[in-house]
């Protein structure tokens, strides 16, 4: 998810201490929240299984989130923006609380960028995250033909990246899809429709 706050010369790709901390905290908390969904230790789930799912989530959910946000930042900087990720600690807390009761709405934060951009440039910045998730789904896909644990990593990597691409392309509120939809409905449909169809197939089909 990205947000525009207001063309400047293109700054270098750097990360402040606060930004690195926010990325790390969001990465870990999201991974723990997803692990709680699969192994609800509050209902008697095994601690060993929970730890295994945390590690698995770090390499699937965590990577999907991290590269999604970094893609927003990189493209924003390429368009002359000053951009930094900021974690939303209230939403991260709600992610953990929701996972404990079997429901997860993950909105860990966003890359905020400032500087003047056109509607097209703002849409390209927004589009960078979901497109990155689609590419990651393709990269995870070959792992499903290997034995465990690579098969599980591949399945989860494909599923979570397709889900994030589809969810973030919803044309509503602060989600990435709203900026893309407002700029170019054809390109929006080109990304949104396949993301939703593939995500639904993976979640409810024989994948």
Length of the chain: 207
Helix 119-140 and helix 176-183, axial crossing angle in degrees, nearest 10: 120
- Catalytic pick from 12, 19, 69, 84? 69
Report, as an integer, the average pLDDT of 105-111: 86
Give pLDDT, residue 62.
92
Query: CB neighbours (10 Å) of residue 98?
Result: 17
Give residue-wise pLDDT tens across range 148-195.
889 999 999 999 999 999 999 999 888 899 999 999 999 999 999 999
Query: CB neighbours (10 Å) of residue 46?
Result: 11
Q: What is the pTM of this model?
A: 0.88
Give residue-wise pLDDT tens across range 45-76.
688 888 999 999 999 999 999 999 999 999 99
Cβ-based neighbours of 198, under 8 Å, separated by 6 or more: 137, 162, 166
CA–CA separation, 134 vs 32, rounded Å? Answer: 23
Half-sphere exposure of 83 (CA within 13 A, CB side): 31
Active site includes 84?
no
């Amino acid at each position: 998810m990205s947000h525009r706050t207001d063309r400047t010369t293109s700054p270098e790709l750097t990360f402040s201490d606060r930004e690195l901390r926010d990325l790390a905290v969001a990465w870990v908390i999201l991974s723990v929240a997803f692990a709680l969904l699969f192994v609800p230790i509050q209902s008697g789930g095994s601690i060993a299984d929970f730890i295994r799912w945390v590690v698995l989530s770090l390499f699937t959910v965590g990577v999907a989130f991290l590269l999604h946000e970094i893609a927003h930042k990189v493209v924003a900087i390429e368009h002359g923006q000053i951009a930094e990720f900021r974690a939303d600690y209230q939403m991260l807390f709600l992610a953990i609380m929701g996972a404990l009761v079997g429901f997860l709405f993950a909105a860990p934060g966003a890359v905020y960028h400032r500087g003047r951009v056109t509607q097209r440039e703002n849409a390209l910045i927004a589009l960078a995250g979901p497109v990155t998730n689609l590419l990651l789904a393709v990269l995870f896909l070959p792992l499903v033909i290997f034995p465990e644990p690579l098969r599980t990593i591949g399945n989860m990597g494909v599923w979570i990246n397709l889900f994030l691409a589809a969810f973030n392309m919803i044309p509503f509120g602060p989600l990435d899809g709203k900026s893309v939809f407002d700029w170019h409905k054809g390109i929006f449909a080109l990304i949104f429709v396949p993301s939703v169809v593939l995500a639904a197939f993976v979640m409810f089909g024989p994948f």
